[in-house]
Amino acid sequence: MSVLRKRWQYVVLFVGLAALFLLPAYSSESTVSFVNRVLIAIVAVQGLNILTGYTGQISLGQAAFMTVGGYASTLLVTQLGWNFFFALPVAALSAGVVGLIFGLPSLRVKGFYLVMATLSAQFIIPWITRNIYGDILHGAQGLNVPVPIIKLPVINNLCFFGTQFDGELGACVYRFATSDQFIHISLVVVILSTIVAHNISRSRLGRALVSIRDNDLAAELLGIDPFAYKLKAFFIAAVFAGAAGAMLAHNLRHINSVTVNLTDSILFMGMLVVGGLGTSLGPIFGATLVILLEEIATVMSPWVISVLPDNAAGATAALRPLIFGLALIVFLIFEPRGLAHRWKLTKAAWRMRPFSR
Amino acid sequence: MRKNPLLILLSIVFLALLLSGCASAAEEPTPAPPPEPTEVPVVEPVAEPTEAPAEEPMEEPTAVPTEEPVVEPTAAPTEEPEPMLRTDNLEGETIHLYHFGDLSGPYAAITGPLVFGMQDAVNALNASGGIRGAMLDVQFADTAGSVDEAVAAYDRFTSEDDNVLAMITYGSGEAEALASRFVEDQIVNLTAGFSAEAFYGPGSGYTFGLGPIYPDQLGYFLDWLVANWDEAKPASAGDEINLAYLSWPGAFGQGALTTESRAYAESLGVNIVAEEIYDLSPSADTTTALLNAQAAGANVIWTNTLAFGPAALMNGIGALGLQGQFVLAGDNWAMDLATYAFVSDPSLAVGLITPFPYLWWNDADNPGIQAAQELFDANERPAGAHNVGYLLLLAGVDLLRQSIEVAIDTVGFDALSGQALYDALTTMGPIQALDGVIRVDYSDGSRSPHNVQLRQIQGGPDAFNVLQDWTDMPDLRPAGE
């Protein structure tokens, strides 16, 4: 189903994107930082949506593939001197290859057993980053990650397009050092990943994935090779995760084996359930809502401390999982198809007004 | 193909907005290089009207600086009388401090009392008139132990306040990740996360420790161990010191084992025979790690953990019946009442040795400890908060008070900034905060203390007894610092 049907919808989208690109101009860095986190999470959840939402393969390894992307991008930039913008797609593809390896068990196992198989990625990959190639990966300490830069040549002793002269590099440089600057990278990647993910869902590949999800035996009888398509889904999901991991590492400026962990993998799954499995808008709604809930929990912490001073640590410790767990339960009971479905119903009701109620 | 004029127009507008969005960053100053704190820019007088960059067209190219800047003679400002610095009677003014840490994640057991300590110290300071009359205001954010959340908290605080003096952080991971941001924004980070990378890694420079970095702590313990091996060694041990590093994953857990500390251990003849990681969880099973250490011939265990971390090892040793087989040692946080909350049998904690960069509650003859006890009682804090975190933050706030006063005396309240505070900290020399509860000296190029005690648990929770009084530690900062 097309998300955008009419010209005015394109205009709204265009204005919305422009507003997001210009967010640093009229909003606090705190808000920009929040949006930045949401955008990075959206990319990771979009990948999971292709694997879990469209293909029906449940994975708890998404955060591990983010770790691969983060490390790969960092090493390409620091060890080989690549520019971040070249390192990003290569890092994403590296994560994709690793995702393929962990997708291999999907040939033989499914459901709960596949969850266990993908969970292994969450243990093996951090272990590798901690214990192997310590001289390059710096073990558990991890790596400091340089901020992305754009280098332009000096023309007539002048720097253009907001760049600043960098004496060390001998060039005009634009640094994506703060959230205000990094959000432009995140937005471009999210736009691209959304276009790719949405088009996958409408392509032959997407239809094959959905048929495997709905009935893999029937799909096979129709000539679809479930193993090949499941592997493709694992690859694509890991590519998205790798891109998100690379962005996260360069945004945080640091990566180690626990920067993204099992909890994040579970959170991504929660975002997908809350947003709506197998829909283009689901990852966007889900990531926004869950991170917003996390933010609310953070803002509520001082209030909880003041109300329950004797049990402050325990109460604040409970706050975040409590809010997330409640949201998940509420959605599973009242809207199991997620916010995207609710949005679809609302749009349909608006179109049919005044005959809808 | 028919071209849609509306689409073309919108595309042009979009492109223009995008370019202007990117160009806005050009107005921001380029990140500061690592600090040159004491140099005061004197080329331009302060009162000189500054150019308004916002009025310039965004696409205006910036000139590449020429190699020799032209310095114009500045005779006029010297003839004007020096403006009076506001250093006293600051009633009505507010000094903002920010701290963030893990109150809802794995480190909550230690962060909770740190936050209580911060609150009580600031309340007490404000009740006694604040700093020269200026009141302290403290903002806290919970990071749940996540670096992502820490960066978000940092962004939130810096967007709310253009002149942040100092932030207090509690985790090694967040201190590492934020180190370069503190330098760029010239904000002092007073931290209880003693990762060497955060203090001395590339791009760091504004991170100051309330205690020594973990590699120094390990080196300090090894110094003592080598000198006292005959008395300290387990009955079954030979002359060789074989150390097993059993710890948590992550920046904190692995913080003591660096290239420098490994080389130092080797230079002392200490063999690191096993490196094992166990879960960052109160229910972690350490028996496998312990058995591996035993199989590797270890007779000494170092753990860089806290609260349930050392307790898990103690419980494992008890479960395996390995009491007396190892000298158990750890970082400063390992010796704390929080550890006792997780030990199945308090006797298992006896013998634990750690560096101790502060006094303890049983040093009751110290006026700082007495003041801390009075504050703790007056605020009716729960017994669980009567630990190292509470004490350290009382001292930390006193350290900040002293350094802020020096900064105010130097630059005046109106010019008080993170840079001024940095200058104060690095020029004050030896500082004894809270009557000597902690002792620091950041004037020697080091941003972490190098003088500590070594203590051992020799009885119950109140018997953290001194094995070695205040002594200098080995300097195991990363190479290049």
Q: HEC string of B151-174?
A: HHHHHHHHHHCCCCCEEEECCHHH
Chain B's closest residue to A126, CA to CA, is B249
- CA dist A142 and A145 (Å) reads 9
If pLDDT is split at 50, 70 and 90, which confidence band does A93 have?
very high
How far off is chain A from B116, nearest CA to CA, in Å? 9
**CB proximity under 8 Å: A 79-138 to B:** 126, 130
**CB proximity under 8 Å: A 238-297 to B:** 248, 251-254, 256-259, 294-295, 297
Give yes or no: residues B322 and B333 share one domain: yes
User: Which structure tokens are listed for B344?
Assistant: 């199945």
User: Which structure tokens are listed for A143?
Assistant: 């790596």
Per-residue pLDDT at B50: 39
Mean pLDDT of A298-325: 75
- Chain B residue numbers touching A295 (CB-CB < 8 A): 152
* Structural domain count of chain B: 2
Chain B's closest residue to A24, CA to CA, is B21
Judge residue A89's burial from the number of C-beta atoms within 10 Å of its C-beta, 0-12 exposed, 13-18 middle, 19 or more buried: middle
Are the beta carbons of A246 and A92 closer than 8 angstroms?
yes
Per-residue pLDDT at B28: 37
* Partner-chain contact B14 A33, CB within 8 Å: no
The answer to whether B32 contacts chain A (CB < 8 Å) is: no
**CB proximity under 8 Å: A 143-182 to B:** 144, 154-155, 157-167, 172, 174-175, 177-181
Q: Which candidate, B324, B336, B320, B332, places its Cα nearest to that of B285? A: B320
Give yes or no: residues B379 and B391 share one domain: yes
- CA dist A120 and A103 (Å) reads 11
Give the alpha-carbon dihedral of A120, A121, A126, A131, to 10 degrees: 70
User: Which structure tokens are listed for B332?
Assistant: 């400063």
- CA dist B393 and B434 (Å) reads 10
Place of tokens 């030896």: B430
- CA dist B235 and B229 (Å) reads 11
How far off is chain A from B327, nearest CA to CA, in Å? 24
pLDDT exceeds cutoff 70 at A122: yes
pTM of the model as a whole: 0.79
Give yes or no: residues B323 and B289 share one domain: yes
The separation between the first and the last C-alpha atoms of chain B, rounded to the nearest angstrom, is: 63
Q: What is the pLDDT of residues A18-28, one digit of tens each?
A: 999 999 999 88
Is residue B337 included in any domain, yes or no? yes
Are the beta carbons of A114 and A58 closer than 8 angstroms?
yes
Are the beta carbons of A317 and B105 closer than 8 angstroms?
yes
Of A201 and A309, more confident = A201
The answer to whether B68 contacts chain A (CB < 8 Å) is: no
The answer to whether A28 contacts chain B (CB < 8 Å) is: yes
Give yes or no: residues B327 and B220 share one domain: yes
Give yes or no: residues B167 and B254 share one domain: no
* CATH number of the domain encompassing residue B185: 3.40.50.2300
Give yes or no: residues B221 and B343 share one domain: yes
Partners of residue B464 on adjacent β-strands: B457
The answer to whether B14 contacts chain A (CB < 8 Å) is: yes
The answer to whether B261 contacts chain A (CB < 8 Å) is: no
Partners of residue B439 on adjacent β-strands: B432
Mean pLDDT of A103-112: 82
If pLDDT is split at 50, 70 and 90, which confidence band does A277 have?
very high
* Partner-chain contact A161 B103, CB within 8 Å: no
* Partner-chain contact B115 A312, CB within 8 Å: yes
Q: What is the pLDDT of residues B52-79, one digit of tens each?
A: 343 444 445 666 665 544 444 444 455 5
The answer to whether B144 contacts chain A (CB < 8 Å) is: yes
Give yes or no: residues B339 and B465 share one domain: yes
Give yes or no: residues B228 and B347 share one domain: yes
The answer to whether B260 contacts chain A (CB < 8 Å) is: no
Mean pLDDT is highest, among A111-115, A127-131, B210-214, B477-481, for: B210-214
Q: Which residues, including other chains, have CB under 8 Å from residue B403's CB and lie 6 or more apart?
A: B421, B424, B425, B428, B431
The answer to whether B34 contacts chain A (CB < 8 Å) is: no
Per-residue pLDDT at B24: 36
Partners of residue B353 on adjacent β-strands: B329, B456
pLDDT exceeds cutoff 50 at A51: yes
Per-residue pLDDT at A139: 81
Chain A's closest residue to B249, CA to CA, is A140
Per-residue pLDDT at A238: 96
* Partner-chain contact A165 B158, CB within 8 Å: no
Of B58, B64, B104, the CB nearest to A317: B104
- Chain A residue numbers touching B62 (CB-CB < 8 A): 158-159, 163-165, 172
- CA dist B198 and B208 (Å) reads 9
DSSP 8-state class, residue B323: T
Give yes or no: residues B427 and B414 share one domain: yes
Place of tokens 């991008």: A73
Is residue B425 included in any domain, yes or no? yes
Mean pLDDT is highest, among A289-293, A299-303, B28-32, B217-221, for: B217-221
Amino acid identity, residue B434? L
Place of tokens 């020399």: B429
Per-residue pLDDT at A357: 62
How far off is chain A from B467, nearest CA to CA, in Å? 31
**CB proximity under 8 Å: B 395-434 to A:** none
Mean of per-residue pLDDT scores for chain A: 89
Chain A's closest residue to B109, CA to CA, is A313
* Partner-chain contact B152 A184, CB within 8 Å: no
- Chain A residue numbers touching B278 (CB-CB < 8 A): none
Partners of residue B168 on adjacent β-strands: B99, B190
**CB proximity under 8 Å: B 47-66 to A:** 58-59, 61-66
* Partner-chain contact B249 A248, CB within 8 Å: no
Give yes or no: residues B181 and B297 share one domain: no
* Partner-chain contact B249 A130, CB within 8 Å: yes
Question: What is the Cα gyration radius of chain B?
Answer: 26
**CATH number corresponding to A7-351:** 1.10.3470
* Partner-chain contact A144 B19, CB within 8 Å: no
* Partner-chain contact A179 B17, CB within 8 Å: no
Chain B's closest residue to A25, CA to CA, is B21
* Partner-chain contact B144 A320, CB within 8 Å: yes
Of A235 and A321, more confident = A235
pLDDT exceeds cutoff 70 at A29: yes
Of B62, B64, B180, the CB nearest to A253: B180
Give yes or no: residues B236 and B342 share one domain: yes
**A171 phi, psi to nearest 5 deg:** -150, 170
DSSP per position, B278-295: --SSTT---HHHHHHHHH
**B441 phi, psi to nearest 5 deg:** -150, 105
Residues of chain B with pLDDT under 70: 1-83, 105-106, 109-110, 462, 480-481
Give yes or no: residues B283 and B250 share one domain: yes
- CA dist A46 and B132 (Å) reads 55
* Partner-chain contact B173 A256, CB within 8 Å: yes
Chain A's closest residue to B60, CA to CA, is A160
| Poorest-pLDDT segment among A103-107, A162-166, B9-13, B267-271 | B9-13
Is residue B158 included in any domain, yes or no? yes
Choose, out of A256, A303, A310, the residue to mutate when testing the contact with B (most B CBs < 10 Å): A256
- Chain B residue numbers touching A175 (CB-CB < 8 A): 30-31
* Partner-chain contact A177 B184, CB within 8 Å: yes
- CA dist B335 and A337 (Å) reads 50
Per-residue pLDDT at B272: 96
- Chain A residue numbers touching B181 (CB-CB < 8 A): 253
Is residue B30 included in any domain, yes or no? no
ipTM above 0.85, yes or no: no
Is residue B316 included in any domain, yes or no? yes
Domain extent for B308: 215-356+458-472
CA B242 to the chain's CA centroid: 30
Choose, out of B17, B27, B30, B64, the residue to mutate when testing the contact with A (most A CBs < 10 Å): B64
